[in-house]
C-alpha cells in the first residue's frame, strides 16, 4: 500500500538522524555524557517508530471493522526514552550532573517523532530552538546565574579553617554545605574540610583557591 513512499520514508529517517546529530555535536563539543552518535540514534529510532506506528500495520487495518490508534507506539517512545536519559544523570560530590543532556535526549526523541510524522519544518524549528536553549541560555545564566563549586582541603592548624571561612564571607560567597573530619596525624590532628560554595562570579573560585594555597600548612585535595 505504501510502496511508492519508500524514498519519502527513507528521507524521513535521514533527516531525523541528521537533526539529532546536529544537537549531539554540540553536546560532544562540550564533552557531555551523550554525544552525536547517541543523539543520532535516538532521533533516527524515534522517526522509525513513528513511521512504523503510522504505516506498519496497514495489512492489519485493511478491514472495515479494524480500529487502531497510530499514536500508541509513538507514545511509548516518549516514556521509553527515560531509561537513556536516566543513564546520563549522575550525582557526584553532591552535584547533580547530566540533567541538561537527558532533557536534550528527550527533546531529540520528539524531533525524531516529528520527522517520522512528516513534519519537517516543525522538526527543523525544534532543532533550532533546542540549540538556542542549550547555547544562548547557557551563556546568559553563566553571566547572571549562581556558580557552585566544591573545595576540599586539609590542615593541622584549626585557625586556617577560620581564615578560609572569613575569606569566603568577604568574597560574598555562600556556604551551602560544610563537612569537617578530624584524623590523627602523628602528634597532631588533621582537619579535613569539604565545602560546597555558591558565588555570583565564577572567577571568585579561582581567587579563593589562590588564597587557600597561599596559607601555610594547607593542602587542597584534587577533585576527581
Look up residue 115 and give its three cell numbers: 520527522
Residue-range domains of the chain with CATH: 3-144 (no CATH), 147-220 (3.30.70.260)
Residue 224 clears pLDDT 50, i.e. is over it: no
State pLDDT tens for residues 21-65: 888 777 666 656 566 777 787 888 788 778 777 776 555 555 555
Per DSSP, the three-state class of 224 is coil
Contact 219, 156 (CB under 8 A): no
Q: Give the per-residue pLDDT at 82.
A: 72
State pLDDT tens for residues 100-156: 777 777 788 888 888 888 888 888 888 888 887 777 766 665 655 567 788 889 998
Contact 179, 193 (CB under 8 A): yes
- Which DSSP symbol is given to 165? H
Residue 90 clears pLDDT 70, i.e. is over it: no
Dihedral of CA atoms 34, 39, 42, 45 in degrees, nearest 10, equals: -140
For the entire predicted model, the pTM comes to 0.53
Amino acid at each position: 500500500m505504501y510502496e511508492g513512499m519508500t524514498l519519502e520514508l527513507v528521507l524521513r529517517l535521514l533527516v531525523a538522524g541528521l537533526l539529532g546529530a546536529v544537537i549531539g555535536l554540540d553536546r560532544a563539543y562540550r564533552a557531555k555524557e551523550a554525544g552525536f552518535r547517541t543523539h543520532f540514534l535516538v532521533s533516527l529510532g524515534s522517526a522509525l517508530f513513528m513511521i512504523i506506528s503510522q504505516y506498519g500495520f496497514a495489512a492489519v487495518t485493511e478491514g472495515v471493522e479494524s480500529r487502531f490508534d497510530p499514536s500508541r507506539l509513538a507514545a511509548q517512545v516518549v516514556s521509553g526514552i527515560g531509561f537513556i536519559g536516566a543513564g546520563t544523570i549522575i550525582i557526584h560530590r553532591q552535584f547533580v550532573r547530566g540533567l541538561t543532556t537527558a532533557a536534550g535526549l528527550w527533546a531529540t526523541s520528539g524531533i525524531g517523532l516529528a520527522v517520522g510524522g512528516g513534519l519537517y519544518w516543525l522538526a527543523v524549528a525544534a532543532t533550532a530552538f533546542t540549540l538556542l536553549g542549550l547555547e544562548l541560555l547557557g551563556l546568559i545564566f553563566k553571566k547572571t546565574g549562581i556558580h557552585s563549586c566544591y573545595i576540599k582541603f586539609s590542615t593541622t592548624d584549626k585557625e586556617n579553617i577560620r581564615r578560609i571561612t572569613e575569606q569566603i564571607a568577604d568574597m560574598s560567597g555562600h556556604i551551602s554545605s560544610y563537612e569537617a573530619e578530624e584524623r590523627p596525624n602523628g602528634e597532631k590532628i588533621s582537619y579535613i574540610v569539604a565545602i560546597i560554595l555558591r558565588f555570583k562570579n565564577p572567577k571568585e573560585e579561582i581567587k579563593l583557591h589562590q588564597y587557600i594555597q597561599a596559607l601555610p600548612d594547607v593542602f587542597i585535595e584534587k577533585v576527581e
